[in-house]
Structure 1
Amino acid sequence: MAISGGPGRDRPEPSGEPELPDVDELAISGKEPPSARVPLSRGRILSAALAFIDEEGIGALTMRRLGARLGVEAMSLYRYVPGREDLLDGVVDALVIELDGDLDVLRTPEHGWQDFLQRMAHGVRRMAIAHPRAFPLIASTPPEAPWLRPPLRSIRWVETFLAGLLAEGFDDEQAVAVYRAFTSFLLGNLLLEVSQRGAALGPLDLVEEEEPANGLSDAPTIERLSALLADDNSLQEFEESLESLIDRITIQIVAGSGA
């Protein structure tokens, strides 16, 4: 049966399928056809932002570029993220969620506080290595408690950490001292490691500079040792530093208890 309006019009027959929402409600992934459109949401935006940072770095992320990746205008994103600052905070939340999903990281010290710290440290490192360009974001302090120290940026994880130590017999002062030493250890080691994997740690790192024309000609010792200096022993160094930290904590706890 002809559609009302007469022949000669290029009007499609109704398919019986529901109409798609407006473009500002949709995100088109890559080059998928319109039928693959899915609703735009804060979760999709944050996932796309994290993937963008993983590929191109924090400095390259703008609302316009992120909108282009999702197939929408930048203004459509503001319905879910008020601005770039909120967007980056959301990316940190996405990183913390990955730590939540690490089954090797324990919520309570089931096998002693040493094992508890080791598991948490390696969990944070796995997150950092999985997202080296995004990890510097987690090095900031949480706005709701700026006196807390990164990279345990989640209040929930700081609570887990401190409550775990107290459950193991640490007093308040000892638990806070260990928290400070542990976070300083993690932040220093992991920021150094992710910087070697392409992370930008400051405004000067956002611009790639060409190697000086003279190279290492004025540094013969560095040139001779370059192969050794280039060896990646990050994991071994991390484990050795972590063991040393735990040994120091053990000695301090024993000394403090008068045993």
Structure 2
Amino acid sequence: MLDVEAMSLYRYVPGREHLLDAVVERIIDEMREDPDVLDLPEHGWQDFLQRLAHGVRRVALAHPKAFPLVASRPPEAPWLRPPLRSLTWVETFLVGLNSEGFSDLAAVAAYRAFTSFLLGHLLLEVAALGADVGPLDVVDDDLDKSLAPYPTVQRLHAPLREDHSAAEFEESLENLLERLALIKAEN
């Protein structure tokens, strides 16, 4: 992929851990290059978060096998949550919501809900694309043996396997934004 021998990379980075951190940093920085991702809301906080969510998703889908590193590498601060794991992106998120009338506590609650939604959905989506995400790995199933004790699952196997990731992402994001509107109104 890089057209270099593996060991030659260590001329540029001190070790494997630094290399993995650099990969994560590069993946997250790609959102800065995305013209649809905004630094501040221009058309309301919902549009701001939708653009950010889609930017993270585009990055995840562009690098499905590397995206799980975003969840597993140590963040810049121990309380940061993936996939918005850099102080720059967390600052952008919080300032954007504060500028739209979110109190500090509501912005923090939104950050927690937003990152949980994104990470859960996107890890499942990249796992379906072959990413190694540990226990979420997609397994090859032998329907005759493994699903025999589960007749309902076996009967519904075809629709369960259908990929509706894009539509589910949109619906879940809309539901999240509605929930955040309630949080904003309460604070």
Q: TM-score, normalised by structure 1?
A: 0.66
Q: How far apart, in 2, do the equivalents of 1:235 and 1:214 lie? A: 31
In structure 2, relative to structure 1, the CA distance for the partners of 1:118 and 1:225 (3 Å cut) is: same
Q: Which residue does 2:129 correspond to in 1?
A: 197
Q: Which residue of 122, 131, 145 corresponds with 1:214? A: 145
Aligned match for 1:252, one of 168, 177, 183: 183
More contact order relative to length (CA 8 Å, sep ≥ 6)? 2
**Count of residue correspondences:** 186
Aligned residue in 2 for 1:154: 86
Q: State the secondary structure of the residue aligned to 1:132.
A: coil
**d(CA) in 2 for partners of 1:197, 1:184:** 20
Task: Please give the alpha-carbon distance, in whole angstroms, between the structure 1 residues aligned to 2:113 and 2:136.
Answer: 29
Matched, 1:186 2:137: no
Is the radius of gyration larger for structure 1 or structure 2?
1
Structure having the higher helix fraction is 2
User: Which residue number corresponds to residue 173 of structure 1?
Assistant: 105
Taking structure 2 as the reference length, the TM-score comes to 0.89
Deviation per residue, 1:85-123 (Å, 9 max, x gap): 111111111212221111111111011111000110011
Segments of 5+ residues of structure 2 without an aligned counterpart are none
Q: Point out where structure 1 has 5 or more consecutive residues left out of the alignment.
A: 1-46, 49-68
The CA distance in 1 between the partners of 2:136 and 2:170, in whole Å, is: 30
Distance of aligned partners of 1:136 and 1:204 in 2 relative to their CA distance in 1, 3 Å threshold:
closer
Alpha-carbon distance between aligned partners in 2 of 1:247 and 1:86, rounded to the nearest angstrom = 39
RMSD: 2.2
Q: What do residues 205-235 of structure 1 show as CA deviations (whole Å, max 9, x unaligned)?
A: 5xx9764572433333222211111111111
Q: CA offsets, 1:52-72, max 9 Å, x none?
A: xxxxxxxxxxxxxxxxx41x4
Structure 2 matches for 1:55-204, cutoff 5 A? Answer: 69-70=3-4, 72=5, 74=7, 76-140=8-72, 142-202=74-134
